[in-house]
Each structure stands twice: as structure tokens, then as C-alpha cells.
Amino acid sequence: EIVMTQSPATLSVSPGERATLSCRATESVSSNLAWYQQKPGQAPRLLIYGASIRATGVPARFSGSGSGTEFTLSISSLQSEDSAVYYCQQYKNWPPWTFGQGTKVEIK
């Protein structure tokens, strides 16, 4: 089973600043990496797949990068509505598909 590790656990960023979230896999997942956003009391929402492809309707301030074992989700100019927990997920080797433990993004 591939283990996904996210850092930091919590990120506090001022509005308008850049947020950078990291995700690491215990073995290569190539570009088979997705990012999800989960706001309090809501279901997760797909943001990024294929490591860097934005899902339909996702604002351009969200971008993903990386391949192999190291990945990054960047939010270029943080908005108040971006306060959420962000999860990475690998879909290279299954079963099972596996998620990271999440990074909570807070607005300063």
C-alpha cells in the first residue's frame, strides 16, 4: 500500500498571499495524483487530477505540480473562501487508493 504524507498539518496564511502545500508518496505514483478540498461540514471536492490538471470550475489560482513521489498544491492569492482541509490522493497502485492525512489551511 502506498502511504501519502502531507505537510504541514496546518498552514496559516494571510489573504492575498501564496499558500504552498506538500504531499509525498512512499513510492512513485507518476502523475497519478489528485487534490481535494473539503470545507467544514461539506463533502470533498476534486480540485486537481493528473498532478496538475484543474477540474472543471476550479479557479486558476489553484495549481498543482510534481511527479513521482513529490507533489505541491499552490494557491497563488489566498481568498477567505479557500479556508479548508486539502487532501492528496494517489491512484497509481490499487487497491487501495490512498489519501494523505490532510493539510488545514487557515486564514490569518
Partner 1 sequence: QVQLQESGPELVKPSETLSLTCSVSGYSINSGYYWVWIRQPPGKGLEWIASIYHTRSTYFNPSLKSRLTVSVDTSKNQFSLKLTSVTAADTAVYYCAREVDYCSGDNCYPGGNFDPWGQGTLVTVSS
Quote the CA–CA distance of 1 and 3 in Å, as a whole number: 6
Using the contact rule CB under 8 A, the part of the chain among 12-20, 59-67, 74-82, 100-108 near partner 1 is 100-108
- Of residues 6 and 78, the one with the C-beta less far from partner 1: 6
Which one of 16, 60, 80, 95 is in contact with partner 1 (CB under 8 A)? 95
CB of residue 19 vs partner 1: minimum separation in angstroms? 19
- Lookup: cell for 47: 480540485
101 is a site residue for partner 1 (CB under 8 A): yes
Classify the C-alpha dihedral 91-79-9-18 as positive or negative: positive
Quote the CA–CA distance of 70 and 24 in Å, as a whole number: 5
